[in-house]
Structure 1
């Protein structure tokens, strides 16, 4: 082949880039960002619950009721719940995508993970924002006076 013919050989065409949102890239970024935020939320949660005040000896129903009466702690716990569940479900989705080879089984498992995470997020959020420590307290119960004092 002559030098002229070698110059006319077309170069390999570059791989085409898919248009649209790259969900895998955003999932990867979310895992790193949510991991950092979760470390702060979890260690803050542990510090307040275990180190401040009387420490672990103060943890009881009244302590939880007091925390859930404060909107700051409600949002702190809900953010921690949401991030932990989404972070965990995304991690499990990655494991399923890596190791499950049958497309139908993979799709079913990813859907099951998404539904389970969504259900737990909804239920957990409802518990935090609708928590009523006096719900179901009877007149002969030990919490009756406390519930009367707060007006429930």
Structure 2
């Protein structure tokens, strides 16, 4: 019984450590790094959704797609500054809206191809975003 309690305590400790690590990463991240983290989270959620879709686990697929949608709508799209970003921000907003529609359709129709399209679009934008950060860091 004490071994079970020890394992449970270890699990709680590891979980708390991971949470603190994530929170610390967010707290110390630049605005640019936060956007990269949002892209990474959305892409990971889409990959998870694909795995659950292929396994026939529609409930978990739906949760993963909901997470990706939340990141796209309430993270990436919400972070756009249309006043300072102008036309680029407006175009990104339209692209995020399209990605959200792809994700909704993929969820509704269990469509791997639409998941792939959403992932490719987000990956392309994320790559460009990372390149901007790399150039800015180099001076």
Task: Return the TM-score normalized by structure 2.
Answer: 0.37
TM-score for both structures, normalised by structure 1 = 0.34
